[in-house]
Structure 1
Amino acid sequence: MSRRLKWGVLGTASITRRRFMPAMLKSRNAEVVALGSRDIDRARAFAGEFGIPRAYGSYEDVLKDPEVEAVYIPLPNHMHAEWTMRAADAGKHVLCEKPMAVDGQEAFQVASHCRERGVTLMEGFMYRLNPRTQKVKEVVVSGMIGEIRTAIVQFGFTINREGNTRLIPGKGAGSLMDVGCYCINFSRYIFGEEPAWALASRRVDPDIGCDMSTSAILGFSGDRTALISCSFETYFRSEIEIVGTQGILRAARFFTPPEQGKIGFTVTTDNDQVHEFEFDAVNQFLLEIEHFSECVLEGKPVILDPLVDAVGNGRVIDAVRKSWDTSCRADVAPV
């Protein structure tokens, strides 16, 4: 059997139990050997549930573990930057849940720090590893729908408010940071460039102090636009629609598709001819884990360069926030 990359996990977040660990247990090239929580009893229970050899009562102890080569960071958003840099200082490679940082400046600081320390860093946009996502890009680049004029990107759901870390007041909270970052990431990916400006509005819950819903227009070259919508207070939606001069591409359940059965997308072209693209469903977290592990083990670059992707996303988020505050169009700082 080929060598497996040895991982540590910081925290016992819901996404770790629901998505990351079930995927990790299926991985051909990775295994978790340590987990840390500020509550040692919680760490031991979680480790026992998934057969993790060592449980620690702090995140620091995971970073001190000499067997740990890489860490997964699913902590609350405002803690991502600190612990990513601390992991890099300990010589650990890092897969950090999105968003990697709370703004563009912090993203640049984190990405630069990891590069200086010589460790691999990737932001956890697992949908980018899905063959469907890559085929969408291929179809758009092929010119099948002509030149893109508009992309409509939506991601929303009704959040459970009780004790939810995504609602902790501060720059890491809110729908923009949790699901809007996906909409921004995909818009930048499908246009193949950074937007020049953003114009945005939001609905703030006065009892929480963060955006529960955000809508924004992102302006790309050639007067092309992405219309993004994200929310914590709507019926579930996770959809893309790419409108070109010669056709329209549509996909549902795009960012969080089912892991069983079939998934796909459609392209409608001249004379309402519908082309269907179908794929076997995949475990996006498994693809992400195996991609990251392979890159570390073989010394290859990851699919998402943090100095481009994470910093670019952060700077668009900065512009959206500025537009919130000014009710005007805000320029996006160059990457």
Structure 2
Amino acid sequence: MKDKIRWGILSTAKIARTQVIPAIKQSQLGQVAAIASSDKNKAEQTAADLDIPKAYGSYKELLNDPGIDALYIPLPNQMHVDYTLQALAAGKHVLCEKPIGLNVRDAQRLIDGTAQYPHLKVMEAFMYRFHPQWQKAKQLVDDGALGGVRNVQCTFSYYNVDAGNIRNKAGGGALMDIGCYCISFPRFIFNAEPERVVGLLNIDANFGVDALTSGLLDFGSGRQATFTCSTQLEPFQQLNIFGAKGRLEIEIPVNAPNDTPCRLFLQRDRIVEEIIIPITNQYTQQVDAFAKAILNDTPVPTPLSDALGNMRVIDALFESGKKGEWAHL
């Protein structure tokens, strides 16, 4: 039995170079064995910069490498499902970046495609769930520290008007790139799916994708979530969970730093308690959890059914935005 997963990185995307590759290198259960790019020079330069043993000038070469156990796929959204299925056909486990695809049809196609590979693991890379700050938040909610939770509010934004950036092209946009987090958060907290949603999307005239999107998610039984996400606002992120007897604020819900502690703020009876979460690399936690599922042949922590659920909400928000009315799930 292997004691470490040999990872291949399918793309030289920034998130791979700056977050996931360093995280795997810190992992106790993984090692980066190869990287591929459609531009061989980029692959070789990245391999040299990050001390990766092998570099390939095509994705197919990496897929066919028998020395690779699992692939991390940070390709553009429209390539996620096709390359995940190709990786499975090549006998590789897959950790794929969010969102899992472009729509529900994509997500279902992936789920259907995995049926013939029951021995292989596939997971959508929502790394936030592996950070102790989120595990603490979920514990507080589940233990009733806030009373009955009724509302989750999230704001997430950054500023990017680069026409060449993949986020400003078809398949990108605020909702797909960062709004998917704002949808995942309340689904995780409520452990439920919304019954209906309303979306308000401002489409950039030059890029043709949403640059500012707000949403209202109705989870029924008096539970709701609201969010705003944007690719053209001052960078900011924050999340608040409101209950009948308390409020919990996650200061940095998505891009939690791996070099300083994180903070939660628990408010009850108008008294605010600061909760310090020790330094953790959430990407390392994620790849280790995925590696354990491979090595122990156990289910992945976040199944593809969750990815399908998130995609359903994204589709419904787009539908609502076009029609100007509630979209029911």
Q: TM class, shorter-chain normalised? A: over 0.9
In the TM superposition, structure 1's runs of 4+ consecutive aligned residues that sit over 6 Å from their partners are: none
Cα deviations across residues 35-86 of structure 1 (Å, max 9, x unaligned)? 1111111111111112222111110111100111100000011111110111
Whole-Å separation in 1 of the counterparts to 2:198 and 2:238 = 21
Number of residue pairs matched? 328
The letter of the residue matching 1:237 is: F
Match of 1:276 in 2: 274
Are the equivalent residues in 1 in contact too, given 2:104–2:311 (CA < 8 A)? yes
Q: What residue is the counterpart of 1:331 in the other structure?
A: 328
2:92: which partner in 1? 92
Give the CA RMSD over aligned residues: 1.4
Aligned pairs (5 A) from 1:1-335 = 3-118=3-118, 119-169=120-170, 172-270=171-269, 272-306=270-304, 308-332=305-329
Query: Which whole-Å CA distance do the structure 2 matches of 1:155 and 1:281 have between them?
Result: 22
Q: How big is the shift at 1:129?
A: 0.2
- Residue 19 of structure 1, CA deviation: 0.7
Secondary structure of 2:85's aligned partner: helix
| 1:328 shift after superposition | 0.2
Distance 2:204 2:161 in 1: 14
Cα distance in 2 for partners of 1:38, 1:258 equals 31
Give ranges in structure 1 of 5+ residues lacking alignment: none
SS of 1:18's equivalent?
A: helix
Between the aligned partners of 1:155 and 1:302, the Cα distance in structure 2 is 27
Cα distance in 1 for residues equivalent to 2:221 and 2:172: 33
| TM-score (structure 2 length as normaliser) | 0.97
SS of residue matched to 1:209: coil
Whether the 8 Å CA contact 2:130–2:286 is kept in 1: the answer is yes
- Displacement of 1:116 in angstroms is 2.5
- Residue identity matched to 2:129: R
Structure 2 unpaired stretches of 5+ = none
**Partners in 2 of 1:37 and 1:99 — Cα distance?**
21
Displacement of 1:276 in angstroms is 2.4
Aligned AA (1:222): S
The CA distance in 2 between the partners of 1:280 and 1:312, in whole Å, is: 31
Are residues 248 and 317 of structure 1, via their aligned partners in 2, closer, same or farther at CA, if it must alter by over 3 Å? same
SS class of match (1:143): coil
Deviates more, 1:160-169 or 1:147-156: 160-169
Q: Distance in 2 between matches of 1:155 and 1:51?
A: 33
- Does the CA contact (< 8 Å) of 1:257 and 1:281 recur in 2? no
Identity %: 36
SS for the counterpart of 2:153 is: strand
Give the match's secondary structure for 1:107. helix
Q: Secondary structure at the match of 2:116?
A: helix
- Closer/same/farther in 2, CA of residues 52 and 160 from structure 1, 3 Å limit: farther
How far did 1:128 drift?
A: 0.5
Q: TM-score, normalised by structure 1?
A: 0.95
1:106 deviates by 1.0
SS in 2 for 1:25: helix
Deviation, 1:261, is: 2.2
Offset of 1:281 from its aligned partner?
Answer: 2.1
3-state SS of 2:26 partner: coil
Specify the SS of the correspondent of 2:221.
helix
CA distance in 2: counterparts of 1:315 and 1:84, whole angstroms: 20
Deviation at 1:167, TM superposition (A): 1.5
